Each structure stands twice: as C-alpha cells, then as structure tokens.
Structure 1
C-alpha cells in the first residue's frame, strides 16, 4: 500500500454489508461511467442491495466467501466475493458456458468464480486490489478448485490489465449484460490454480 499502510483482509460479517453495498455502487459508477448508461448507474440502490444480500448471507456462507479489506480504523475499503462457478445460463457474469465439466448447470463444478472485486476509487493502484485477489486465489486453492474464473466488461481496459497481470486470460466465452435495456458485452477470464488436476472431471 502507498504510504506504508498495512493491508488487513478478513472475512466479511453481516455488519459489513451496508459498507460493502455502498462500495459496490461507488465502484460501478466509477468503473462503468463511460461504459453503461448514466441513468442505470444512478439508479443503483445500495440499501436495496444490502437488504437482498442480508437475506441470504447466512444461507450462502458455506459456498460464498465475502472478503473485506479494512483500514486502520476498521473502515471497509475493498470487497471481493468468491464462490462456485455459476452455470445458470443467466448471462451477465452468471454463465458457466458448459466448460466446467458439468454440462454448464453448476452441479459438481470444481471451478471457482470471482463474483466481485472492488476497492475505493481513490485507492485504485495502491495494492489493495492485489491483496484482495491474492487472498481470493489462496482460498480457492485451499478449496481445491481447478480454475478461477471471472467476468469483465469488455471495454474495461483497466480491469482487464489488472487481471492479465495476475495471470488470468480470456477463455473465449462472451456474454451480454442488460444494463437497463442497453446490452453491455462481457468477456470471461480464467486461470488455473496451483495443485489442481486439470485432467480430472
């Protein structure tokens, strides 16, 4: 981190959900301000997202790991979420593409998915995102996932460079995300995980 500030990454608690939701909305509005309609981004509701996430937080903790980065005062400055590769065919980052070895329905899939990674816009480039991603990869390897996948908006050049520097590469799968009636192209990235047997499954 710049200025020598240590990075503290821990699992999120239910009490963090409001801060995570606010960070998510800020992250979308910053990253996608030239890639999605302004009306769609301005219509995002952090309180509604927090309420939805709170409703299923306890039920999904066995499969979904939410991580937060916090500063010295305990304030949430970054967030990442890891879980199984989704294969529901819904698009918008929810398509497994049938390459998980499970026919694309999500059952028995041994690949992981990075559902989200956001840091405060003013901390981009500080190393905070790299620290979160490193923890995600470590946890995915501990869960013996074969690969880690993620979705990136095609036009988000900064994010694509970030993931490519971390060893991810496009795997040829694309999707369209509906941003309030405007189709936004996404590309899927993937990287193998240490110790995984890519010939299995």
Structure 2
C-alpha cells in the first residue's frame, strides 16, 4: 500500500476535520474532560477550518498523507506563535493520524516532509506543543529528534487545566534543548 504525502487542498478539509476529531477523542481520553471530547464534531471542526482556509496564517503549510486515495493523516506547520523564540523559528501546529492509521508510517512520513520543508526553507529551530500525559506522542516526537526545552504551560478545557510541554529540534545542528528560560510560559 503506497503512502503519499502532498499539500492539503480545500477539498481535504472534511477529511482533516474527521481525523482531528477522532484523533483527539482517541489520544486525549483521560487527559481532557470526556464531556468535551464527546461534544467534538467533525462538522463543526470542518466549518472552523473553512474559515481559517479563507484567511490563512502567513507562512503556514498544510500536508496530508493518503493511502489508496484516502486521507489518513495531516500535519500543519509554519512560523512559531511563541514570542520568546528567535525570528525564523517554526512550529508544528498539528500532526494527527486517524486512529485506524496509527503505526502505518503516516505520522513519520508527515513529520519527515514537514521537517524537510523547514530545512529547505533555512529554518534552524522547530518546536511543537504536546500534552504532558500524552506518552505515545511524546515517544513519537522524541524518536523524530525533538526533546523538551524547559517551557510548559496549561490551558483550560471545560474548567480543567490541561498541561503541555514545548518540544524543540534544531535542524542541521545539535539536538535542541534549553531554547527558552526554564519556567517560561507559553502565551
């Protein structure tokens, strides 16, 4: 079964929304309020994606992984949203594979293509945010060369603080780490 990674198109938004919702419901069970996860809907997510598609973040890139013509994963990356990092740093905003496609290489292919594109663009530092309790994702990112940089925060999901940590990777240089002061918080 051939796996293909390509740029996301507007026609992919319904598939991407389905993957994100199912991905959250699978990966974040026990890490976020179940009522929040249960209330998520691919239709609402797709509607929000269409609005963002009409007014994209400058420099953002969306990719999809497809197998046999079916989109099974997606990634999005671009300039970091974190103000404490040097100009030019990039961020992996999202990387999700449908739960049925976990372990098929789709996530690795999406990460590799995202990092290759960043490297080609001259990006030296790539970061991402991961829930502290999401051990599967943390292992995945660590195998891809990322590591915690000492920056963490929490955000509110239906009145519950959900802690996350920033991971970083230097491209073409030594492993990332300590790219931000210890204890700094994401804004």
Indicate which of 21, 40, 48 corresponds to 2:36. 40
Is the contact made by 2:72 and 2:98 (CA closer than 8 Å) also made in structure 1?
yes
Indicate which of 75, 78, 81 corresponds to 2:70. 75
Q: Could you say which residue in structure 2 is the equivalent of 1:146?
A: 124
Aligned length: 175
Aligned CA-pair RMSD:
1.8
Is the contact made by 2:73 and 2:107 (CA closer than 8 Å) also made in structure 1?
yes
Indicate which of 49, 55, 76 corresponds to 2:51. 55
| CA-to-aligned-CA distance 1:162-188 (integer Å, 9 cap, x gap) | 110111000000010211111010000
Is the contact made by 1:97 and 1:173 (CA closer than 8 Å) also made in structure 2?
no
Structure 1 unaligned segments of length 5 or more: list them.
87-95, 102-108
Shift of the alpha carbon at 1:144? Answer: 1.4
Give the match's secondary structure for 1:54. Answer: helix
Structure 2 unaligned segments of length 5 or more: list them.
177-187
Moved over 3 A (4+): none
Q: TM (normalized to structure 2)?
A: 0.88
Q: Could you say which residue in structure 2 is the equivalent of 1:9?
A: 5
1:178 aligns to 2:173 (yes or no): no
Measure the CA separation in 2 of the matches of 1:34 and 1:62.
34
Give the match's secondary structure for 1:178. Answer: strand
